[in-house]
Structure 1
Amino acid sequence: MNENDFIYKNKNNFIRKIEKKGIIEKNGYSNIALIKYWGKKKNLEQIPSNSSISYMLANLYTRTRLIYEINKKNDNPSIEFYFHRKKNNFFYLKIKNFFRKILIYCSYLKNFNFIIETYSNFPHSSGIGSSASSMSSIALCIMEIERRISFLTTNFFLKKSSFLSRLGSGSACRSIYPGLSIWGVHKSIKESNDLYSIPYPYMVHKIFKKIENTILVIDEKPKSISSSKGHELMNKHPYAKNRFKHANYNMDRLISILKLGDIQEFGKIIEQESLDLHAMIMTSNPYYLWIKPNTINVIQSIWDFRIQTKKNIYFTLDAGANIHLLYPFIDKKIIFKWIKDNLSFYCKKIIKSFCIWD
């Protein structure tokens, strides 16, 4: 599908098909990338420079409550925005810009007044996927309006939800499907594309269908530089081309790893990918340091524990100081006890999660 396929074309008196006032509520979940998306193609709207793959995460979500009222006289949608029951101008401007971007694809929005209320159950702007969860939840609410005014197949509903989410936050497009999601064109993955994510289309060994995810919140404060600004730094980065090439190479490797159930090689890739991402931000111009001393302490503790016990526990980081620990469900009790007993000292909080499969 191309961009034109997502333009709303059924303009025949749709207002008659929907109640004048209504409420829609949707959850959008965080995701954790295994192969990282870092860098966008210049002069294009949220198009990744390499393909990425992620798990959808349980227990980390943003709930959006969209209250709408028809206003036939509007030329643009009217928006009030609340985050945790308070007006938030920074997030309001992001939402307003998002609606501006998607109006060409959802022209019906100009006929509504909206009150948008969002609530996240985990820290925002700290590298745990708050933008992905919030923008996907809003996109799902908007698509529910479209579903009420015209017939949509489930397949189209999800694809356009992912497409719209991408325009708000690139990684948000991967928060639509449970399990593993792919975003970005990759020669080895059929139907992969840059406009929206797709469910991972190949065989996955049973060990990867039950993966625990424990998040160690090292720092709850917003990052020193936003992910959007970080992506821009890749445009002139001296190592960018090699990074994009290496990410796509790792994606090729991961396809066979997921099929065979080789969790040791899986762990090597996801750790390397997270360290690659942080190496790129540390060698940008200007350069930044997201990891904290306790981030390093946790990583070293994981490596030591893995050597001593031979347990399959691996880490990954997104754009921030906080750590995701991934390990098989079969070792859940032993590993989580070790985390609580040995890593709590380094954390502000520990969030129990798992990778949603279906």
Structure 2
Amino acid sequence: MTAPQWARAHTNIALIKYWGKKDAQLMLPANDSLSLTLADFYTDTLVRFTDSIATDQFALDQQPITGQPLAKVTRVLDQVRQLAGITAPAVVTSRNHVPTAAGLASSASGMAALAAAAAQAAGLTLDHPALSRLARLGSGSATRSIDGGFVRWFAGHNDATSYAAPVPAAPALLADIRVVAVVFSDQPKAIGSTAGMARTAATSSYFPAWTQRAAADLHRLLPALTAGDFAQVGQIAEGNALAMHAATWAADPPFTYFLPATLALVQGIQVWRQSQGVPVYATVDAGPNVKLLTRAPHVAAVQHWLAAHFPTAQVVVTQAGPGISYYPAGKEVDA
């Protein structure tokens, strides 16, 4: 074992959604997905293996964590211990920098930071695809938070073939794209993502069409990223998100993550875009909050429009972010 290790990983927003598993045990998704890593939202995690404790310990933002969240952490740590040939429990300390106001889940950044820090602390030298496979055991979306920029998660057919890797994109697009998070609710979801995926995959008559749509959207998105075609990227991302949510409406029993404001915003920006030519597109994960994709020169106009039409919503702006980074245990990271 080496010294205790800090790692930092950033959260991401999926442009081609991950929705449904073909193997829940291995966390293998039903379809490939593609995301953008975000600059301002991240998790710092310290891992220290020690024989001085009996079982793994996990604290998040100075609060001890037990139950299912701890079980997910231990699942990642067990794999690290197996790879490193060690048995010591670990003390895991995490600090989230994913504000509630951003409406973004922190599981992606949290599990990616855990995988990176634990591997280093155990003396392992893993490349990014291997780290993404490790992070996948804790959270599917964490697979895509090992790398920065645009990242593709290959669904694969077993553990070895289900991993993430960066995809090429025009440098101007990567520098120019902005994500405007619009938050209507920070309350827990009535149906969690895991349960929602499982119900959709098992009962929705639209689910087979969804997986086919996701594959076709990805096929169209890859050349659009390379060409730097923001309009095409936005159109594909918006359509893909709405197709995912359509599958939930066709589940049995049907359900939706949308609030009335969610649909009003999506429809509103479509009308605004078509009437005024403003390059702004919506994407929505498994929740009521909307992420708007736009270009840097148009951020102020988008913020002004939101203030006029949705004055009570919380709005946070970010851009493309980096992959994992490391800090020695003696170095103070941002509190």
Shorter-normalised TM range: 0.7 to 0.9
- Count of paired positions: 318
Q: Which residue in the other structure is 1:145 paired with?
A: 121
Query: Greater relative contact order (Cα 8 A, min sep 6): structure 1 or 2?
Result: 2
Q: What amino acid does structure 2 have at the position aligned with 1:260?
A: A
Query: In 2 relative to 1, CA 243–127 (structure 1 residues): closer, same or farther, beyond 3 Å?
Result: farther
CA distance in 1, matches of 2:103, 2:17: 13
Identity of aligned residues (%): 25
Whether contact under 8 Å (1:102, 1:167) holds in the other structure is no
SS of residue matched to 2:100: coil
> What are the equivalent positions in structure 2 for 1:151-230 lying under 5 Å apart?
152=125, 156-185=126-155, 194-200=161-167, 202-204=168-170, 206-230=172-196
Shift of 1:272: 0.9
Given candidates 251, 257, 269, the residue that maps to 1:290 is: 257
Query: In 2 relative to 1, CA 276–306 (structure 1 residues): closer, same or farther, beyond 3 Å?
Result: same
Whether contact under 8 Å (1:26, 1:140) holds in the other structure is yes
Q: Which of these two proteins has the greater Rg computed from alpha carbons? A: 1
Shift of 1:289: 1.8
| Structural RMSD (CA) | 2.6
> CA offsets, 1:241-276, max 9 Å, x none?
221111111111112222333322222211111111
Alignment of 1:94 with 2:72, yes or no, is yes
Alignment of 1:329 with 2:310, yes or no, is no
Given candidates 51, 55, 62, the residue that maps to 1:71 is: 51
Structure 1 length as normaliser, TM-score? 0.80
Q: What amino acid does structure 1 have at the position aligned with 2:251?
A: S
In the alignment, structure 1 segments of 5+ residues that lack a partner are 1-14, 187-192
Shift of 1:49: 1.3
SS of residue matched to 1:111: coil
> What are the equivalent positions in structure 2 for 1:1-358 lying under 5 Å apart?
15=1, 18-19=2-3, 22=4, 24-42=5-23, 45-66=26-47, 68-71=48-51, 78-90=55-67, 91-100=69-78, 103-108=81-86, 110-123=87-100, 128-146=104-122, 149=123, 152=125, 156-185=126-155, 194-200=161-167, 202-204=168-170, 206-233=172-199, 234-345=201-312, 347=313, 349-356=314-321
In the alignment, structure 2 segments of 5+ residues that lack a partner are 324-335
CA distance in 1, matches of 2:24, 2:304: 48
Whether contact under 8 Å (1:313, 1:326) holds in the other structure is yes
CA distance in 2, matches of 1:106, 1:344: 52
SS of residue matched to 1:344: coil
Shift of 1:101: 5.2
Whether contact under 8 Å (2:12, 2:35) holds in the other structure is yes
